[in-house]
Amino acid sequence: MRTDSAVNHEPAESDSIPHTDLEQRVRHCERSAAVYAVRGDGLLHCVRNDGVAHEKLGQLLLQTARCAISSALGQAVALPEPTGELANALQAPGASFVTLNQREELRGCIGSLQAHRPLITDIQANAVAAALHDSRFAPLTLAELDITTVEVSVLSAMQPLPFACEADALAQLRPGVDGVVFECGRYRSTFLPQVWEQLPNARQFMAHLKHKAGLAPDFWAAEVRLQRYTVSKFKEVEGAS
């Protein structure tokens, strides 16, 4: 499935532009304010609430994604070098999704479900993949970039969701909070927690998730496996310049 894949792309070199213009596009999306740190397992963890630090991290992640897309389109962008805790957070293994929208309409979405590389590398690769390699859309052009808003979601670790039947699974889901991974044999799909905004009913959410995997909306089998995760989401202001 496209939403849990990522494509590496070597950025093109061109004239650089200052990062200050990008800062005006960024806002903090505040479902959870958090500070991230690397613990003994080498992964990125939320360690405490701190709106200021969370916002700084969000600004940097959004700038990283936008700069990667600009560079891939031939317009290299100067990205400030992070220091301290921010630098550590970006170098820790992390899983992310990058979503592109134009006037509130989806323009691309690619991500990683498992942390298997530094967060900064994951975001850069997923940003370029969402812009150029999402098979649902034509590749983004440089002319479109100014009307495109970027959203970055940083995923928590996956948690298995045990259940006795589909009704039991549906009863355990937390609308607006849980991202869900559906698996059955070779069929696999995921929805980010943001999808609850369009599909607030758990049964409807699951039916669309199964359809996305290539199965009938009413499909169920003993082989079905579910995992869930949460995200910290950061999004640019639409139309800012």
CA triple 179-82-151, angle to 5 deg = 30
| 1-15, 63-77, 164-178: least confident range | 1-15
Residue with tokens 């213009």: 21
Rg, the chain, Cα only:
18
pLDDT level of residue 52 (50, 70, 90 thresholds): low
* Ordered domains of the chain (ranges, CATH): 2-155 (3.30.700.20), 159-229 (3.30.1490.150)
- Average pLDDT on 7-35 reads 32
| pLDDT confidence of residue 54 | 73
The CA-atom distances, in angstroms, between 228 and each of 53, 93, 163, 219 are 26, 19, 12, 19
Residues 6+ apart with CB under 8 A from 37: 44, 45, 47, 85, 88, 89
Please name which of 67, 99, 68, 94 lies closest in space to residue 2, comparing C-alpha atoms: 99
Q: What's the gap between Cα 80 and its chain centre? A: 22
pLDDT level of residue 44 (50, 70, 90 thresholds): very low
Q: Higher model confidence: residue 196 or residue 9? A: 196
Residues 6+ apart with CB under 8 A from 95: 111, 112, 113, 114, 115, 116, 122, 154, 155
Report pLDDT digits (tens) over 85-134.
Answer: 888 889 999 999 999 999 989 999 999 999 999 999 999 999 999 999 99
Rounded distance between C-alpha atoms, residue 168 and residue 224, angstroms: 13
